[in-house]
Structure 1
Amino acid sequence: MSDVVARWGGVLVACAVGLPVAVGLAFGWAVVARRRGRPAAHAVAEVFLVVGTLPWLWMILTPDPGGTRRVRLVPLLDLASLRPGEVLVQVVGNLLVFAALGALLPVRWPAGTGTVALVAAGASVAVELLQYALDLGRVSSVDDVLLNTLGAVLAAQASRPAWRSRSGDDEPAATPVP
């Protein structure tokens, strides 16, 4: 636990301080949206999509002082090479990176699960390329892309009850036929 605080304490403090600010911002943005005839839920989704993703990106793009830049392109090889205690952290962390995006993208815009998967995969590939290009001492891994995308898709499915028609009324959005 002390390792987590030592490494990510700044992110954790920023999140703790930033959350009340984000709630206030979401409330204010929702009021403005309603005055402009837009659904308040859209404004709240916009704010928390960003707020829920930025801390993860901050952690991902933080240099690893003792790390070596590497690329892993074989699926699941990176996960298989981890020590048992690291697997849970890697899997859960990577599932959460774009969870806010996955949960809130379909609330705000007309996006189904396929669109969420494409956006999350594209964003994840961009992050992995950025990690490599910036030589942050991190592993750029296809496993990260797969888990980031899966996390976004699972979050999208979990948020399905919140999907509303994009016209702003309270009718549920049409459920696509498989």
Structure 2
Amino acid sequence: MNPEFRARRVVLLAPVVLLAAAVAFVAQRPLHHRAGWQPWLGTVNAAVFWSLVALPLSAGLVRVLARRRGDRGRGRSFAEVAVVHGTVPWVWMILLPGPGAGVAPRRVSLLPLRDLYEVLTQGTPVTAVVQIGGNLLVFAALGCFAPVRFRALASVPRMLALGAACSVLVETAQYVLWLDRVSSVDDVLLNATGAGLAALASRRWWAR
């Protein structure tokens, strides 16, 4: 699909999506019992809400960049904006502090597949789908669009390595910032796998 046409469609659909997101956000807000800025910035729903708010801005940015670059720059502009817009909200959600941030002991899980096994065997099917699917999507936009934009990244092994490196940085930040989250090697494995699978899905559009 033409990137400029796609951007226009996003601009037209954005008000409808934004209205639905606003209604859902206001409806769930009292459930958090938080005051001040936290309901607006410190919840998963807030991260989703603001990513939807930014959709029209991202679509407009694609059009601006494409116009500056000419016809040959449409795909490049869309890929650049998509990488940022599709990755930042996930990283934001990962770095949200838990209830024991700064107080609870820091937790690290370095045994591969242990956390994944516990989720599959002890959690509910919904929990397993959300946790595994969410981890696969964290760097999916990076894996999908980075090879389209950068020829040097047009390789599944390179995208696996880049996804793993970015995930290690995020997991390290969780530990250093004392966010009451588990820094897990399984998250790194799933994040990297998601980036690699997304790269495979976009292979026909990779930069040559």
1:81 shift after superposition:
2.1
What's the TM-score once normalised by structure 2's chain length? Answer: 0.72
- RMSD of the alignment, in Å? 2.0
- Equivalences, count: 162
1:75 to 103, 112, 116: 112
2:187 to 137, 141, 144: 144
1:66 shift after superposition:
3.9
- Check the 8 A contact 2:98/2:180 in 1, yes or no: yes
1:164 shift after superposition:
3.6
Pairing of 1:92-107 with structure 2 (within 5 A): 92-107=133-148
Kindly provide the amino acid, as one letter, of the partner of residue 152 in structure 1.
Answer: A
Unaligned runs of 5+ in 2: 1-23, 33-42
Give the Cα separation in 2 of the matches to 1:71 and 1:155: 27
Counting aligned pairs with the same residue, the percent is: 46
1:33 shift after superposition:
2.0
1:115 shift after superposition:
1.1
2:175 to 132, 155, 178: 132
For the residue of structure 2 that corresponds to 1:140, the secondary structure is strand
Pair 1:43-2:77 in alignment: yes
CA deviations 1:66-89 (Å, max 9, x no partner) are 474310001111122231242211
Bigger fraction of residues in helix: 2
Question: Match for residue 29 of structure 1?
Answer: 65
Give the Cα separation in 2 of the matches to 1:34 and 1:129: 40
For the residue of structure 1 that corresponds to 2:70, the secondary structure is helix
Segments ≥4 residues shifted beyond 3 Å: none
Question: Match for residue 54 of structure 2?
Answer: 18
1:116 shift after superposition:
0.7
1:118 shift after superposition:
1.1
Unaligned runs of 5+ in 1: 166-178
Give the Cα separation in 1 of the matches to 2:51 and 2:169: 24
Question: Match for residue 163 of structure 1?
Answer: 206
Give the Cα separation in 2 of the matches to 1:156 and 1:57: 19
Give the Cα separation in 2 of the matches to 1:150 and 1:9: 25
What's the TM-score once normalised by structure 1's chain length? Answer: 0.84
Kindly provide the amino acid, as one letter, of the partner of residue 112 in structure 2.
Answer: P
1:105 shift after superposition:
0.9
